[in-house]
Amino acid sequence: MIIKDFYSIIDTELDTFIAKYKEDKLIKKHKSSIDNQKSYALLIWFLDFYGRISNYSDFITDGNNDSSCDIVFDNINNEGNKIFYVVQSKWNNADNARKETNKDEILKALNDFETILRGEKKSVNEKLKSKLQELDLHLKTNGEVKFIFLSLSQYKGGADENIEAFRNNDVKTKFEVIDINRIRVDYIDRKYKKIDPINPLASYQNPEESPIILNIVQKGGSIKIEKPYEAYVFLLRPKTIWELFHKYNFALFFKNVRNPLLQSQFNADIEKAILEESSLFWYYNNGITAITKILPEIGKKAETISVIGLQIINGAQTFYSIYRAYENASLTKRTQMDTEGLITLRLLKSGGKNFDLNVTRYTNSQNPVQDRDFCANDDIQIKLQNESYQTNIWYEKRRSEFREVPEGVKKVSNSVFANAYLAYYLQDPVNVLKGYGLKNITGKDLNFISHKEHKDGLYEKIFNENTSFEDMLCAFYVFDTIWKTEAIVYEDTFKTDLYHLLALFQITFTKYLTSKYKENVNVNKQIIKIYEKGEKEIIIKTFKFLNQFSEKQIDGANIKDALENTEISVKDIENIVLEK
């Protein structure tokens, strides 16, 4: 989803808020200034989207008659401590939204925030003055404050040094830029993946680093496994699950191959079961599997234990559904759930990356899970997906993660990307076909298997620090053009010479562009431009040229070597006649 299209979505939502709250005195006040009115609406949207705060008027304070408004409010974090939030928003029109955030705007905000910290902000309305006085008292009692610069433009790090200096000035002071790219990722998570994004208006501890207190239920003692890795099996009450999620949120599932869905029939059934049939829930549900870095000795009478590095690797839907049921239940219903409800927890001590991955793989084997699903949380997969959001081709790093996509956007599996990239960009069509053949025999997708796990694993070859989405997108565009032109079913592409032609295409098209422009050009950018402008004919002509060239070679000749030693003119490609 390109910035232009996403901006249109957000701008429409801002217009909706302006219409909805048309009687708001500040909406009326800013009616003559679209900048101020939209900036004010952006704050309402921000509170609604991230904080789910509908009573926005209690939080927003009017700005100083410029294009930014302020939010100053306090909230209780997951540890029960008060945190103040100060937000400044900068609305931008559609043209400026596609540009980089002006560094001076960040510096101005930082200067404004420093003035607030010193208690020297002048010429403010009574509401803001009151909130700033509360903030000053909060800071004097060693309280924490988080400043947020909210902008509908693209922040690319131009003020990072200044931001770092601001942060380092006081350990109790935080600062974050929420730009249109961050908003887009979070919006896609909620709207199209149906999962909750990380909320900048809340703070969560990292469950992988923090000591976590678990209240356990032992009916005559827990079950302990000692070799080769320590593990326990015991029971939890719904309240314990609610407390864990309330404190750590979705960070509990970082190593899970599936994210809990915000809404699904499966989740609804679990919620109904724990609410209406608490005493039978244990019989109906397989429970939860978690790993931890440090597993303590647990006495037979222990009711509370402490573990470090907790991650839920199986049962995410169960965990989240119980949390939702408990969160929305009445006090009486909660008491009943905690009296009757029991959930099995298998708690394993981490045995290292390979062991943990295998536990994740096998505990999820009752539902179809592919090898690529187990790589979905890798940094490189997240990076490629986030880069893809700048286009209308979304990189699907986990099966079925996009529950829907907006009109004009296409989701493409990272398996398809990987094969096209391996053949075209890495010039290795042989491994594409070899991997497909071995997958049929072993069931393993070698593109997503490490060479450390299988001698033919290709994961590190394809996905590494040099892998960019632009290169993958170019490979896919070339693949997609000929695939769709030939009307081949995807599985049948492995039974043709398509992947070998992809490798040869790069050589041929580079020669063609060099001949056409008489200088070195960025081939990938040219292909992306050609494809997105709908001028795919030249790509199809190049493929036809390759087919004709291949047919002319003597049996046994190395086509690639012959192609590299052949001069290719512009006419050789452009004069190819295509069948109508």
Domains in the chain: boundaries? 3-193, 211-369, 387-574
DSSP-derived 3-state class of residue 441: helix
CA distance 1 to 389: 5
φ/ψ region of 84 (left if φ > 0, alpha if ψ in -120 to 50, else beta) reads beta
CATH architecture of the domain with range 3-193: 3-Layer(aba) Sandwich (3.40)
Burial letters 482-499, b for 16+ CB under 10 A, else e: bbeeeeeeeeebbeeebb
Reported as a single tens digit per residue, the pLDDT across 434-475 is: 888 888 777 788 999 999 888 899 999 999 999 999 999 999
User: Among 318, 287, 322, 294, which residue's Cα sits nearest to residue 212?
Assistant: 294
DSSP per position, 153-188: SB--STTHHHHHHHHHT-TTEEEEEE-HHHHHHHHH
DSSP-assigned letters across all residues of 202-246: S----TTTSEEEEE-B-SS--EEE-SSS-EEEEEE-HHHHHHHHH
Judge whether residue 424 has pLDDT over 80. yes
- Provide the CA 423 distance to its chain's centre, in angstroms: 27
Confidence band, pLDDT 50/70/90 cuts, at residue 317: confident
Neighbours of 241 (CB within 10 A): 26
Which element (helix H / strand E) includes 432?
helix 429-442
372: left (phi over 0), alpha (psi -120 to 50) or beta: alpha
Per-residue pLDDT of 7-66, as tens digits, reads 999 999 999 988 888 888 778 877 767 777 888 888 889 988 988 877 777 777 765 444
d(CA 150, CA 1): 20
Q: What is the DSSP string of 91-140?
A: ---HHHHTSBPPHHHHHHHHHHHHHHHHT---S--HHHHHHHHHHHHHHH
Beta strands 82-90 and 70-76, pairing class? antiparallel
pLDDT in tens, 148-173: 999 999 999 889 999 999 999 888 89
Backbone angles phi, psi at 75, to 5 degrees: -150, 155
How far, in Å, CA of 102 to CA of 122, rounded? 25
